[in-house]
Amino acid sequence: MSKKCLIMYTSLTGNTEKVALRFKSTFERNGWECDTFKVRKSADDILRPPFDPAAYDFLCVGSGIRSHLPYNEIVNVLRRFRIDKDPRILLRNRDEDIPYIKEPVPQYPPRDKGKPFQQKIVLGGDSKKGIVFATYGGHEFGPKEAVPTLELLALEMEHLKFKCLGQFCCPGEFMKGPSPGTYHGDIRGRPNEKDLLKAEMFIEDKLEEIADRTVST
């Protein structure tokens, strides 16, 4: 039976989506089944997501970047999976809300005193695997500007018990002009075919890393 991958991402101007779709075709060429879930700013996507990562063998999580961080939708849906509850319960502790969700915020459920609240997570060799990805402008510092996004997505992914095997990022255009004097210079048209080939090779490498080469004797 073929293995199943879920690519969960947010993309406001289509750049991260290009990478997501190239990942998908790479998985499929390698015999995997692959679903994509583009998370939108909607109550249904955050509170009642149509896909559950637990049903998959491999998870890819990606986002564009605004103000140095991933888009809130992707982080909120990951939080939703992590606590299996409305993520606004957690956002209250950060003085934040999700403005497009109009349903009342539920009360935090009373804690079961017999159960530990939080526990150390150790992801062993047999745990499920995943990767995170981002597209970014990086005008000032280049790829370093994608690091907080990639690290945050990786942390949330590992909370879902998918060991993060790697991080992929590439520039994604966001201004009309050639932007001289910036780290990457002219990023119009990025991700371009060269970026997408790198994305493809990144997935090929990860599939090689997780391939089961056991020979039965």
Ligand X SMILES: Cc1cc2nc3c(=O)[nH]c(=O)nc-3n(C[C@H](O)[C@H](O)[C@H](O)COP(=O)(O)O)c2cc1C
Query: Is 72 one of the binding residues for ligand X (CB under 6 A)?
Result: no
Q: Which stretch binds ligand X (CB under 6 A): 49-57, 122-130, 137-145, 193-201?
A: 137-145
Residue from 48, 67, 110, 117 that binds ligand X (CB under 6 A)? Answer: 67
Please calculate the CA angle 24-175-7 and round it to the nearest 5 degrees.
15
Query: Is 45 one of the binding residues for ligand X (CB under 6 A)?
Result: no
Query: Is 16 one of the binding residues for ligand X (CB under 6 A)?
Result: yes
Query: Is 56 one of the binding residues for ligand X (CB under 6 A)?
Result: no
Is the CB of 29 or the CB of 68 nearer to ligand X? 68
Q: Can you read off the two tokens belonging to residue 192?
A: 């371009």
Is the CB of 39 or the CB of 207 nearer to ligand X? 39
- Report which of 64, 55, 15 is spatially closest to residue 160, judged by C-alpha positions: 55
- By beta carbon distance, the residue nearest ligand X is 172
Query: Is 167 one of the binding residues for ligand X (CB under 6 A)?
Result: no
Task: Please say whether the beta carbons of 133 and 74 come within 8 A.
Answer: no
Q: Which stretch binds ligand X (CB under 6 A): 29-37, 45-53, 83-91, 133-141?
A: 133-141
Is the CB of 15 or the CB of 76 nearer to ligand X? 15
Q: How far apart are CA 207 and CA 165, in angstroms?
A: 10
Total residues in contact with ligand X, by rule CB under 6 A = 20
Residue from 32, 80, 172, 206 that binds ligand X (CB under 6 A)? Answer: 172
By CB under 6 A, name the binding residues for ligand X.
11-17, 64-68, 135-138, 145, 172-174
